[in-house]
Amino acid sequence: MESVPEMKRTRFHRMNFEAEILTAPCNNSELYMIPTMRSLTAEEYVQAFKSFLDHSTEHQCMEQFINKEMPQILASLGNGKSTINVLGVGSGTGEQDLKMIKIMQAQHPGVLINNEVIEPNPQHAASYKALINKSPDLQNVSFIWHQITSTEYEQQVKEKNAPKKFDFIHMIQMLYRVDDITNTIKFFHNCLDQNGKLLIIILSGSSGWASIWKKYRHCLPLTDSGHYITSDDIKDILDGMEVEYQVYDFPSGWDITKCFIEGDTTGGHMMDFLTGTKNFMGTAPLDLKKRLQEALCQPECSHKKDGSIIFSNDMSMIVVKS
């Protein structure tokens, strides 16, 4: 009797799902291997992130917060000083930074704004600089660039033993990528000047992300840091630090309808962003793809609107006092 080849083999490694699946074609002529799942490179992340931004209301959500709450938050900065020192940690392409700077200009007319930027991704930094060149109304604003990670910045400051103090520090959607979240928050909080404020923007603990991460992060490749956190985790850290803070919650949605269209390029990029995996639809086991797509449709993750599936991307804006 002709031997039947082994049909499937799957292994797990350090809580990081690696699809090493041996299977046979329809005619059982030979075995072939499905590519292993791996996390996104920096360039691949930029492309996947764009597909997310193009179909989500994240930036509109941030803009709503900035327009509604930031004038009051920024009004007390500087305490009458002639220069306000600002630090953006993981500023990305800079859209939100410049919106806050313009509010700062309106709240503090004539005051110099020294804006320092920590952004390790060269593509994001280039986009930020291009945006500045298109913004003629940035008088009295200077920019200093640190194309390094927040951890590298922290190391440099500690080596020099001369930490610079800032009136305003913001960390927008970046704490997922640091090695030690608690110590990172403590370090930058210590960089605040008297009456300074630290703004942390992070996904809400009630968002669809929280549900997906809780159930499936052990099945996905480790990201560049491996951290899956929400505002609930940040509040626990701040409570432990015994600092004063205020939380502003804003709803946000992400149209993930294309994630369910087989072979759709944009939907593929969305799934890559959602899972942190390169070509998730082409490398993940069929059972994992099916279970994840089913989970995305559950009420704790999304709702239907006008025939579209809207993923809950709700956000929390946390303002911490010095």
Query: Known binding site for substrate: residues?
Result: 58, 313
Could you give the C-alpha distances from 219 to 15, 91, 141, 201, in angstroms and in order? 7, 29, 46, 26
Is 188 buried (19+), middle (13-18) or exposed (0-12) by CB count in 10 A?
Answer: buried
Contacts of 227 (CB under 8 A, 6+ apart): 175, 176, 177, 178, 181
Length of the chain: 322
Task: Say which amino acid occupies 295.
Answer: A
* DSSP one-letter string for 235-260: HHHHHHHT--EEEEEE--EEE-GGGG
Closest by CA position to 252, among listed 55, 94, 49, 48: 55
Closest by CA position to 252, among listed 307, 317, 197: 317
Q: Which two tokens stand for residue 305?
A: 């609107």
Closest by CA position to 93, among listed 67, 65, 58: 58
Closest by CA position to 277, among listed 294, 264, 261, 292: 292
**Count helices and strands in the chain by DSSP H and E runs:** 11, 14
| DSSP 8-state code for residue 39 | B
Binding residues: 58, 313
Residues 51, 18: Cα–Cα separation, whole Å:
25
